[in-house]
Amino acid sequence: MTQLINSIPLKHLTVALHNDFHNKVSEAIADFGAEALHIAQQAAAYAELIDRENSIVKRQTAYVSTIKLKVTDRTRDNGVGVVMQLINTHKTSIIPAKRKAAHGLAAITANYKGIARHHRRTLTREIDSLLAVLDTETARTHLATLAMTDEVEALRTANAQFETAMNEKVQEVVERAPQTSLNTLELRAAVDQAYAAIVRVINAYAVVQSSPQVEEFIAQVNALISLTRQIAEN
């Protein structure tokens, strides 16, 4: 009995499973050779549509840069907190020189209390301003007295790292922007139609002019269909 490619309810697959199925079919076509399967024209159109669907799937995944942005933002929030807390703690130091230095720093940083709770969009500039205040000769002397120079430099680094992460996020958004015009449902339907055209041709050849390549391809696709069905049902 002639083996044909089985049916599969493509409309009911998740975006990821739908995309994975078609990519694997496309890979199988490449392995066997579109010419050998008599679908050279159909395979080219199918592959192009799958590439577009891949862009849709990529668009729907989380931004890679978001994690880095969150980590660097948390780091600099902690950095601001440490600097302000150390200043406040040393205000009651039993060492006169440290107590004096702390009060001096407290006076020039009073306007920056609580900035770690501000929105990340404004916090970068506020930290830059705080660092500028702490870069004066008097402030640097006070920081050295309190052994806080390393903490301030760590805050400077953390703020710069956040800015780098923010720029990477902006770039990622820009790169994905063209993908937002793609219609997921319409594209899925187009991919499915292209696949259906391939199935019709291969099934026809399986009946009237089969070959080892066609038969092996059908067996491989049917195995993939069976696996995909199992995943979809679980």
* Tens digits of residue pLDDT in 9-23: 999 998 889 999 999
The whole-number pLDDT of residue 175 equals: 65
| Judgement on whether residues 169 and 85 belong to the same structural domain of the protein | yes
In three-state form (DSSP H/G/I as H, E/B as E, the rest C), the secondary structure along 25-53 is HHHHHHHHCCCCCCCHHHHHHHHHHHHHH
Q: Which residues 6+ apart lie within 8 Å of 50 measured at CB?
A: 19, 22, 23, 26, 191
The whole-number pLDDT of residue 221 equals: 96
Residue 68 has pLDDT above 70, yes or no: yes
The arithmetic mean of pLDDT across residues 65-77, rounded, is 87
Residue 180 has pLDDT above 60, yes or no: no
Q: For residues 181 and 3, give the distance between their C-alpha atoms in angstroms, rounded to a whole number.
A: 40
The token pair at 68 is 């880095």
2 within a domain of the structure (yes/no): no
How distant, in Å, are the alpha carbons of 40, 106, 198, 220 from that of 32?
A: 11, 74, 14, 11
> In the chain, what percentage of residues exceed pLDDT 90?
73
Residue 81 has pLDDT above 60, yes or no: yes
Q: Would you give the distance in Å from CA 170 to the centre of its chain?
A: 12
The token pair at 121 is 């969009």
| Judgement on whether residues 106 and 207 belong to the same structural domain of the protein | no
Domain containing 103: what range?
A: 64-177
Residue 177 has pLDDT above 60, yes or no: no
The arithmetic mean of pLDDT across residues 175-179, rounded, is 57
| Judgement on whether residues 202 and 151 belong to the same structural domain of the protein | no
Q: Which residues 6+ apart lie within 8 Å of 27 measured at CB?
A: none
Residue 179 has pLDDT above 70, yes or no: no
The whole-number pLDDT of residue 65 equals: 67
4 within a domain of the structure (yes/no): no
The whole-number pLDDT of residue 117 equals: 87
| Judgement on whether residues 47 and 83 belong to the same structural domain of the protein | no
Residue 46 has pLDDT above 80, yes or no: yes
The whole-number pLDDT of residue 145 equals: 97
Q: For residues 79 and 163, give the distance between their C-alpha atoms in angstroms, rounded to a whole number.
A: 15
The whole-number pLDDT of residue 52 equals: 87
Residue where one domain finishes, among candidates 134, 159, 177: 177
State residue 14 phi and psi, 5-degree precision: -65, 165
What rounded mean pLDDT belongs to the chain?
Answer: 90
Residue 148 burial class via C-beta count within 10 angstroms: exposed 0-12, middle 13-18, buried 19 and up: buried
* Matching residue, tokens 């900035």: 115
The whole-number pLDDT of residue 63 equals: 59
198 within a domain of the structure (yes/no): yes
How distant, in Å, are the alpha carbons of 47, 53, 194, 227 from that of 29?
A: 10, 18, 13, 18
| Judgement on whether residues 160 and 194 belong to the same structural domain of the protein | no
The arithmetic mean of pLDDT across residues 80-84, rounded, is 95
The arithmetic mean of pLDDT across residues 142-159, rounded, is 96
Residue 182 has pLDDT above 60, yes or no: no
The whole-number pLDDT of residue 59 equals: 61
| Judgement on whether residues 51 and 69 belong to the same structural domain of the protein | no
The answer to whether 133 and 108 are in contact (CB under 8 A) is yes
The reported pTM is: 0.53
| Judgement on whether residues 172 and 69 belong to the same structural domain of the protein | yes
